[in-house]
Amino acid sequence: MIHHRVRLVLALLAVLAVALAPASELQAQAGKGTIKIATQSPLSGGQAALGEGIKLGAQLAIERMKGTLEKQGFKVDFVPFDDQAKPDVGVANSKNIIADKDILAIIGHLNSGVAIPSSEVYKEVSLVMISPANTNPVVTDRGYPNVNRVCGRDDIQGVVGSEFAHATMKAKSVYIIHDKTPYGQGVAEFFKADAEKKGLKVLGFEGTEEKSNFDPIITPMKAKNPDVIYFGGIYDQGAPFFKQAREKGVKGKFLGPDGMDSSDLTKIAGKAVVGMHYTSAAGPASALPKAKAFSEEFKKKFGKNPEPYAAEAYDAATIAIKAIEAAAKGGKVPSREDVATAVRKAKLPNGITGDIEFDAKGDRKKALYFVLQVANEDPGKWGDNKIVKQLTIAAPAAAKK
């Protein structure tokens, strides 16, 4: 028995010996040190498709942009984390991230519910977070110096949508559906508030977590016959909804936020969504050469079309790299504070999602929004979508509440 225990301890010591040499310490410290950029997004579970899009977008940017830093003698690594769309996992990951001194920037998250508690952790060490997808106003309204976002805000995008419905689509009545997530409900609520202000008749406002069967929601909607139907949410829910609505004979025009910006929208809904409009900060490949290059390169490298927020993640990672370059002027690995300050000051003219510059809260100084129209039912021609309208709206100067 005793021998058994002793052997156990010896085995543990052997494991210890292995553990003493984690991979990073094995390799010779090349040059002036290592710089790591991490992503946090759900890589498993039902939201993995979008989460992986964020990861791949950032990965692509880092692989393309790291050259300058590497020439200066730094080693640039990319570290993806899976936050499982769960706040407790996200927070634990964040603690793990801040413990790794080499990590100088975070691209993430997908869910505002994970981003808010996690950014409290980043703030402790002034680690900069650049969010590609958290559109909840609270994220930046807290005024943290290390929290920025490339994507728009719900309170802008919802308004862009209702402006378009009112002024261009000449709608008299709207019916609003959302997906009960902070994003979908947030943008739908701002859409509703502004639509009411403009005198549009809101015939219905429904939230649903349903992913497959939309019949019971469509039936009363069809009976009320709205001019425009707005879906606040992501394409994987919006596309089946639009498809089923058309199949059931709903006549109204469709409108959605940037969660619809995926070729999978037409892959799923086919001709039901041809001609529908969606708002997005990322322009289409047809009009912007940059966007075209991005989507082609993404497709070449990963074999599929980019998801929504992949372009934003690409821009976010580009800014992170540029800021690190700026902060590393002395030839040393910069401090996290310096990187955070540099990000706030960074200017990225002509990112895929337009000119990026942050205001004092970390929002885009000027949010450029496109209203796009789906041109073709072939998902391969998603890039042909045309810009119907272009709206530039400055971020709300002061936090409401």
| Comparison of 16 and 398: residue with beta carbon closer to other proteins | 16
User: Can residue 49 be called a binding residue for other proteins (CB under 8 A)?
Assistant: yes
In the region spanning residues 254 to 273, those forming contacts with other proteins, defined by CB under 8 A, are: 264, 267-268, 270
User: Can residue 15 be called a binding residue for other proteins (CB under 8 A)?
Assistant: yes
In the region spanning residues 227 to 256, those forming contacts with other proteins, defined by CB under 8 A, are: 236, 239-240, 243-244, 247-249
CA-wise closest residue to 295 among 313, 311, 318: 311
> Of all helices (H) and strands (E), which one includes residue 354?
strand 354-357
| Residue count, binding to other proteins (CB under 8 A) | 94
Member of 205, 373, 376, 391 binding other proteins (CB under 8 A):
205
Q: What are the DSSP E strand ranges found in 83-155?
A: 103-108, 128-131, 147-149
| Comparison of 22 and 330: residue with beta carbon closer to other proteins | 22
In the region spanning residues 270 to 329, those forming contacts with other proteins, defined by CB under 8 A, are: 270, 302-304
Find the shortest distance in angstroms from Cβ 246 to other proteins.
Answer: 10
User: Can residue 361 be called a binding residue for other proteins (CB under 8 A)?
Assistant: no
Neighbour-count burial for 206-229, b at 16+ CB within 10 Å, e otherwise: ebbeeeeebeebbeebbeeebbbb
Q: What share of the chain is helix, strand, coil (3-state, %, to 5)?
A: 45, 20, 30
Q: Name the amino acid, one letter, at 380.
A: G
In the region spanning residues 142 to 181, those forming contacts with other proteins, defined by CB under 8 A, are: 142, 180-181
User: Can residue 82 be called a binding residue for other proteins (CB under 8 A)?
Assistant: yes
Find the shortest distance in angstroms from Cβ 222 to other proteins.
Answer: 8
In the region spanning residues 105 to 134, those forming contacts with other proteins, defined by CB under 8 A, are: 111-114, 116-117, 120, 124
Nearest-angstrom CA–CA distance, 260 and 236: 8
| Comparison of 115 and 340: residue with beta carbon closer to other proteins | 115
Judged on CB neighbours under 10 Å (0-12, 13-18, 19+), 71 is exposed
User: Can residue 217 be called a binding residue for other proteins (CB under 8 A)?
Assistant: yes
| Comparison of 95 and 197: residue with beta carbon closer to other proteins | 95
Residues 6+ apart with CB under 8 A from 337: 126
Which residues is 278 bridged to in the sheet? 256, 372
